[in-house]
Structure 1
Amino acid sequence: MKQIAICPGSFDPITNGHLDIFERASRMFDELIVAVFHNPNKKPLFTMEERVALLAEATGHIPNIRIDSFSGLLNVYVREKNAHVIVRGLRALSDFEYEFQRALLIKKIDPVIETVFMMTSSEYSFVSSSGIKELAKFGGVITGLVPSCVEREIMRRSAQI
């Protein structure tokens, strides 16, 4: 049986920390679906379609990754994709507390689904999508913190942030 995992997130924008998690998780599963989630509580810099395209470009070197998007309940999406594992990246203890509560909720409503937590590499532990947008807004350097395709698009839009 093919082992499929889902790595959900808003990815607005994708960072090198995300890419680190994708690369490492892709070695653990037959297929990793990176799923862009529509979060109605956030005002994204990039549209859903743009985020999907940027993810596809940034992960093009990873053969067993598929990029997708969804809205609605994560456990329903996981089931629709015939997956049983959710991969969540963690940077700090505060991420764990939030993600742990979400994982317990999903486990309660769908006991078959497992959540795997992966710590990002220490070199990216301080990098967040919101931090990247703030750096770009004030003219900070984001080189080395995001994939080059993302840096290009953020710099192009930095006046809109």
Structure 2
Amino acid sequence: MKTIALYPGSFDPITNGHLDILERATKLFETVIVTVAVNKEKSAVFTGDERVELIKKCISGKAWAKNVKVNQFTGLLVDHAKDMKADTLVRGVRQISDFEYEFRMALTNKRLAPEIDTIFLMPDEEFTFISASIVKEVAYWDGDLSSFVPKDVEKALKEKFMNEKGNKE
């Protein structure tokens, strides 16, 4: 039986779709480690530490999250998976274009670490259109985020963009 899964992503920010995938993964694995990818080349709204804290807030008190851990990493995902003793990577796929990219990544990871499998989970239909980039755009223009992200994420985004806009004016 597969016991430890890694659910990697940038989670900048975590969305309701991410949480839906995470909850589903907890039903399949004894432990799920949400792993925040920190890429110094990409500009993120939130730091790695902020993303980890937001994820922890979003899952706090949820019965399904009792075996969820949250961390961050830089480098090759398969190396981190080995360090965490994970035997499976969980990836969310919303649409065909996601699958094409994720399929290439899964094949690459399999070549680098044949002992680690990748599974693809689709979010509930109501979340298939949500992406972190859409969420950030809506947040930047002070739109209603209540159906896209948890309240803690909405609050953090509004604060972040309010400060950013305040500094530009």
Whether these two folds match at TM > 0.5 is yes
RMSD of aligned Cα (Å): 1.2
Correspondence 1:140 to 2:143: yes
Correspondence 1:104 to 2:107: yes
The offset of 1:137, in angstroms, is 1.0
Partner deviation per Cα, 1:50-70 (whole Å, 9 max, x = no partner): 100000011121101000111
TM-score for the superposition, normalised by structure 2: 0.92
Give the distance between the partners of 2:2 and 2:21, measured in 1 at CA: 20
Give the distance between the partners of 2:47 and 2:156, measured in 1 at CA: 12
Give the distance between the partners of 1:21 and 1:158, measured in 2 at CA: 27
Correspondence 1:69 to 2:72: yes
The offset of 1:136, in angstroms, is 1.0
Q: 2:85 aligns with which of 60, 77, 82?
A: 82
Give the distance between the partners of 1:139 and 1:58, measured in 2 at CA: 21
The offset of 1:141, in angstroms, is 1.1
The offset of 1:41, in angstroms, is 3.1
* 2:4 counterpart residue number: 4
Question: How high is the sequence identity, in percent, across the aligned residues?
Answer: 43
TM-score for the superposition, normalised by structure 1: 0.96
* 2:37 counterpart residue number: 37
**Which ranges of structure 1 fall in alignment gaps of 5 or more residues?**
none
Contact residue 2 and residue 88 of structure 2 kept, 8 A: no
Contact residue 140 and residue 158 of structure 2 kept, 8 A: no
Partner deviation per Cα, 1:110-159 (whole Å, 9 max, x = no partner): 11110000001110001000100001111211112101110111111223
Q: In the alignment, residue 12 of structure 1 is paired with which amino acid?
A: D
Q: Secondary structure at the match of 1:57?
A: helix
Give the distance between the partners of 1:67 and 1:2, measured in 2 at CA: 19
The offset of 1:2, in angstroms, is 6.9
Q: Secondary structure at the match of 1:79?
A: helix
